[in-house]
Structure 1
């Protein structure tokens, strides 16, 4: 299983992060709102990155399509931006 939103980290990586910080934000009742803010922000970051790096155009389009509901439910398997 991958992390619950973008799949950018494995479940084990997500668990280690939560253990280190003592809290799993995905269990917080307000998480859906937080994700709703974070996801468009990370999409816009990928779009900005693609403007200077054409290799990222496909990933930027993929992220936009995810938000538009064209790639099913989360996790969407987004690549991390270098």
Structure 2
């Protein structure tokens, strides 16, 4: 087995900077904010979604009576299709 010295030497300024920078990058809102998928409605990280504005085909396939629903803005809004 290799000769492993314990405890390890303290990190230098570059190592500390790298760790803090990586942590800050992963804690940005864009890294964990979720949005609803336009196809299935499931919450997905925004980084995994493609903007619907970049879609140039027909979205008529997504409109099905009794299946799709309009967005509700409060609990009092009806959960009906159309």
- Please say whether Structure 1 and Structure 2 have the same fold, judged by a TM-score greater than 0.5: no
Greater fraction strand: 2
Structure ID, larger Rg: 2
Q: TM-score, structure 2 length as denominator?
A: 0.25
Higher RCO by CA contacts (8 Å cutoff, separation 6 or greater): 1
